[in-house]
């Protein structure tokens, strides 16, 4: 890899580190090519990215970013998974893959500027996704309105039933 290519990789990583809401470092060992290809495809489905990086280039790119606090995690074979959108869905994909492939492991991560240990990343994967949380909030906001509408309709419905019964009695 020549100097121009290295500079391009560093710039790409620095941009990814600056713009990402979540960056998770993965260690890997004894992973075959078809498994890595499947892994990358699953990550792309969430709108996230995954790169295997040289540790020295990643450390240069991490300077002056929130990722610099993970400098000691850049040792051995390292892959970087990052997302611009939902770090929870990325963590879920990674956790599922790690469960099925013991050669992969979490090294650490940074989500919304906070460092996460491997255990915290597993906990993050247990959270409900953004869409699930939004649907719960909408349900909670909609429930009082639905109850109010039902309460308003109830007396009108009851009045209609009483009038109907009176009409039937007079006939």
- When computed from its CA atoms, the radius of gyration of the chain, rounded to whole angstroms, is 26
Nearest partner of 17 among 53, 76, 75, 64, judged by Cα: 64
Span 45-51, mean pLDDT?
Answer: 90
Coil vs helix vs strand at 75: coil
pLDDT digits (tens, 9 = 90+) for 126-140: 887 778 888 989 888
Starting at the edge strand found earlier in the chain, the sheet holding 22-28 runs 48-53, 78-83, 22-28, 104-111, 114-116
| Model confidence at 152: pLDDT above 80 | no
Residue 107: its pLDDT value, please?
Answer: 92
Mean pLDDT check: name the lowest of 36-40, 47-51, 55-59, 150-154: 150-154
Cβ atoms of residues 73 and 109 within 8 Å: no
pLDDT digits (tens, 9 = 90+) for 72-127: 888 888 899 999 888 888 999 999 998 888 888 999 999 988 898 999 998 888 88
> Please, which pLDDT band fits residue 145 given cuts at 50, 70 and 90?
confident
| Model confidence at 57: pLDDT above 80 | yes
Rounded CA gap, 6 and 11, in Å?
A: 9
Residue 73: its pLDDT value, please?
Answer: 87
């Amino acid at each position: 890899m020549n100097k121009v290519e290295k500079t391009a990789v560093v710039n790409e990583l620095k941009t990814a580190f600056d713009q990402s809401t979540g960056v998770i470092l993965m260690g890997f060992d004894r992973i075959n090519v078809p498994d890595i290809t499947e892994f990358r495809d699953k990550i792309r489905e969430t709108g996230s990215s995954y790169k295997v990086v040289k540790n020295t280039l990643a450390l240069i790119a991490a300077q002056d970013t929130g990722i610099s606090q993970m400098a000691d995690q850049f040792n051995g074979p390292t892959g970087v998974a990052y997302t611009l959108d939902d770090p929870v869905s990325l963590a879920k994909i990674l956790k599922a893959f790690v469960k099925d492939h013991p050669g992969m492991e979490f090294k650490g991560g940074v989500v919304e500027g906070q460092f996460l240990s491997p255990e915290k990343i597993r906990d993050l994967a247990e959270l409900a996704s953004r869409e699930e949380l939004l649907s719960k909030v909408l349900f909670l906001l909609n429930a009082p309105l639905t109850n109010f509408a039902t309460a308003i309709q109830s007396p009108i419905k009851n009045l209609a039933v009483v009038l109907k019964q009176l009409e039937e009695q007079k006939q």
